[in-house]
Amino acid sequence: MDLQSIKNRFNIIGNAPALNHALNTAAQVAATDLTVLIVGESGVGKEVFSQIIHALSARKHNPFIAVNCGAIPEGTIDSELFGHEKGSFTGAVDSRKGYFETVSGGTIFLDEIGEMPIGTQARLLRVLETGEFIRVGSSKVQKTDVRVIAATNRELLEFTQKGRFREDLYYRLSTVPIRVPSLRDRKEDISLLFRKFVVDFAERYKTTPVQLDEEAKAILINHPWQGNVRELKNIAEQISVLSNTSLINASTLQGFLPDQSKFSRMPVLAGQNQGGEFANEREILYKLFFDMKKDVTELKKMFVEILQNPSLAGAAANFTRESILQDFTGHEVENNTQHFIAQPSTTTAAQPLLLQDNDMHQHEEIEESLNIMDKEKELILKALKKHKGKRRDASLDLGISERTLYRKLKEYDIED
């Protein structure tokens, strides 16, 4: 089947070279049983490519199923893919066939393959290499004949280096990689796609298809389109339904497009990866202690500089509580952390403090304990002492729930 016929059959709009290359690769590999890995950003239409490969293959009359690995809970994904026996886990009241058993002879499309748990990856690797699998709770080896097409919007090679994805599975899946271009990499197709969408929506909603003036077209083409074709389709539908005129100018179009500057100003935690979150309170406290230690070190350096050069004392006075102590997100700490700041002395006359060079060097060499459990226990004791044993007030001051505080008291054997 020629390229244009494929586009017509699967309703694909565009003539960008990168898109044509991806379609040609899909058409060529369809006749084989090779495993295919489709790579591309969210919203570029990776599932359409899997349908093309299946429809042009010898398996086209057999089942095709698309499975979103990121949408299935980790505890049930093995059962969904490979089936389970009765009584193999709580709730398994009957035996059940998995997708690899029911789709035997056909094609299974594993979307968001990068979200698949490591244990399930090992099972998948065995299927790809031997065509064998075992139901959850069974010891019987079964055979299946399934072609696997996987897709991801992540860089799986980076995942392998971080231990989040099996390297052997990565190379087994990427026998034939197909990279679907993002919409901003095929700008020549944006106007064609938009026109197709507004005509379809005008027909659906019984309205006149909207048109863009030249300035609006330029804005449309140069928009970053983080959501790719899916985002463009949504914008076209909004304009078709909500616009009061059939001719859209630049200002009207801007009202429908998201403000990208808002996203660029959002604070980002240094070194944080996509989806990287603190796993628990202990990691949060560790980060807070680390930042506090860093701030104290800076204060020590500033104090020494003031002793060496008294003229800096006036500038140092401008360091307020907000500029000294910050939380781990970079924002100002709320009032409930005031107890971390030393209060000024009430004595009337401050005596000069003279430090010898040896004393300063010795002080810098002292390294405080960074045992997180000791620090956590110390904070809890201080908070309880401050609030005279009132758990509710202490938990608010610590920034944790009263239930979590109760659990910590048990864990550290603290009697309040």
Co-location of 226 and 141 in the same domain: no
pLDDT of residue 397: 81
- The mean pLDDT of the chain is 81
pTM: 0.62
Specify the CATH number for the domain of residue 130: 3.40.50.300
Co-location of 142 and 223 in the same domain: no
pLDDT of residue 190: 96
pLDDT in tens, 232-270: 999 999 999 998 889 999 999 999 998 765 544 444 444
Asked if the structure places residue 218 within a domain, the reply is yes
Query: Is 60 exceeded by the pLDDT of residue 390?
Result: yes
pLDDT in tens, 157-188: 999 999 999 999 999 999 999 999 999 999 99
pLDDT of residue 376: 81
| For residues 221-234, average pLDDT | 95
Per-residue CA distances from 339 to 33, 294, 321, 342 (Å): 67, 18, 11, 7
Co-location of 35 and 113 in the same domain: yes
Q: List beta partners, residue 326.
A: 332
Distance CA 227, CA 42 (A): 6
348: Cα separation from own chain's centroid: 56
User: For residues 406 and 143, which has the higher predicted lDDT (pLDDT)?
Assistant: 143
Contact between residue 212 and residue 253 where contact means Cβ atoms under 8 Å apart: yes
pLDDT in tens, 89-135: 888 889 999 999 999 999 999 999 999 999 999 999 999 999 999 99
Based on the structure, what is the number of domains in the chain? 3
Co-location of 38 and 163 in the same domain: yes
Co-location of 195 and 135 in the same domain: no
| For residues 53-78, average pLDDT | 94
Percent of the chain with pLDDT over 90: 57
The boundaries of the domain holding residue 364 are 281-341+353-411
pLDDT in tens, 277-323: 344 455 555 556 666 766 777 777 777 777 767 665 555 555 444 44
Domain boundary pick from 181, 207, 242:
181
Specify the CATH number for the domain of residue 245: 1.10.8.60
Domain boundary pick from 147, 181, 215:
181
Asked if the structure places residue 274 within a domain, the reply is no
Contact between residue 57 and residue 30 where contact means Cβ atoms under 8 Å apart: yes
Co-location of 314 and 290 in the same domain: yes
Per-residue CA distances from 373 to 25, 286, 288, 367, 386 (Å): 56, 9, 14, 17, 20
